[in-house]
């Protein structure tokens, strides 16, 4: 596989052709915030917090770095006024759903996001899909899935599978940026398969 040379934040970075901009940055020790990315999972491109500015052939545009492929001589800026403004707005929208998430609060500090900018609609899940995709792609169990669509979308444990698989696993719990997942599991367990009924 041939190497690709690009520039990220002024630093010359060597990547391989199949890499995304995010992977190239991570390999070079350059940090880009992510909320729906996990190295063991297929890129999802949902949260948009990893947005960066790229410049190629005289054009500058904003791209989602976890799904955008590297290319020769690409110039990448991981922070700029525009990038920071978009990340700030994304965080403010997410904080309306999960105001107590430590992950979001920490990012909010970095980008000056105001957690009270948008009216609270606490749903706690920010739809990053890490739990659903980890269970499907890595564990191949599908014990948790999305139900409904659009703004009504929410995650749900499938009691028949979760009652058999989850107690000895729980690998998805630490992936959740809001800890909603753990609460959803405890509720499903209490309602559908309380420990005392085993």
Which residues form the interface with ligand FES (CB under 6 A)?
34-37, 45-50, 64, 66
Token pair of 31, please?
């940090």
User: Under rule CB under 6 A, which residues in 163-182 are in contact with ligand SF4?
Assistant: 175-178, 180-181
Do 45 and 38 form a contact (C-beta atoms < 8 A)? no
The upper half-sphere exposure of residue 156, i.e. CA atoms within 13 Å in the direction of its Cβ, equals 12
Residue 140, helix vs strand vs coil? coil
Q: Of 106 and 160, which has the nearer Cβ to ligand FES?
A: 106
Q: Of 21 and 177, which has the nearer Cβ to ligand SF4?
A: 177
User: Under rule CB under 6 A, which residues in 134-163 are in contact with ligand SF4?
Assistant: 155
β-strand partners of 63: 52
The upper half-sphere exposure of residue 196, i.e. CA atoms within 13 Å in the direction of its Cβ, equals 2
Please name the residue ranges forming H helices in 6-61.
21-27
Minimum distance, C-beta of residue 12 to ligand SF4, in the bound complex (Å): 35
Stretch that binds ligand SF4, among 49-57, 85-93, 110-118, 125-133 (CB under 6 A): 125-133
Query: What does 108 interact with, of ligand SF4, ligand FES, none (CB < 5 to 8 A by kind)?
Result: none
User: Mask: binding to ligand SF4, 69-108, rule CB under 6 A, as x and -?
Assistant: ----------------------------------------
Q: Of 66 and 176, which has the nearer Cβ to ligand FES?
A: 66
Token pair of 86, please?
């978009």
d(CA 154, CA 182): 14
What is the sign of the dihedral through the CA atoms of 92, 95, 100 and 105? negative
Q: Of 96 and 169, which has the nearer Cβ to ligand FES?
A: 96
Residue 73, helix vs strand vs coil? coil
- Interface residues with ligand SF4 (CB under 6 A)? 125-131, 155, 175-178, 180-181
């Amino acid at each position: 596989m041939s190497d690709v040379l690009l520039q990220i934040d002024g630093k010359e970075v060597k990547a391989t052709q199949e890499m995304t901009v995010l992977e190239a940055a991570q390999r070079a020790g350059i940090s880009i915030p992510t909320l729906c990315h996990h190295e063991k999972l297929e890129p999802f491109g949902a949260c948009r917090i990893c947005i960066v500015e790229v410049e190629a052939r005289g054009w500058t545009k904003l791209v989602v770095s976890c799904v955008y492929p590297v290319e020769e001589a690409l110039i990448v800026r991981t922070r700029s006024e525009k990038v920071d403004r978009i990340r700030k707005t994304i965080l403010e929208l997410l904080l309306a759903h999960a105001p107590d998430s430590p992950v979001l609060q920490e990012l909010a500090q970095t980008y000056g996001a105001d957690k009270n900018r948008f009216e609270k609609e606490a749903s706690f899940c920010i739809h990053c899909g890490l739990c659903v995709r980890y269970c499907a792609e890595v564990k191949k169990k599908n014990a948790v899935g999305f139900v409904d669509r659009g703004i009504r979308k929410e995650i749900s444990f499938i009691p028949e599978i979760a009652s058999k698989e989850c107690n000895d696993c729980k690998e998805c719990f630490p992936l959740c940026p809001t800890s909603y997942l753990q609460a959803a599991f405890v509720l499903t367990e209490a309602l559908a398969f309380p420990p005392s009924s085993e």
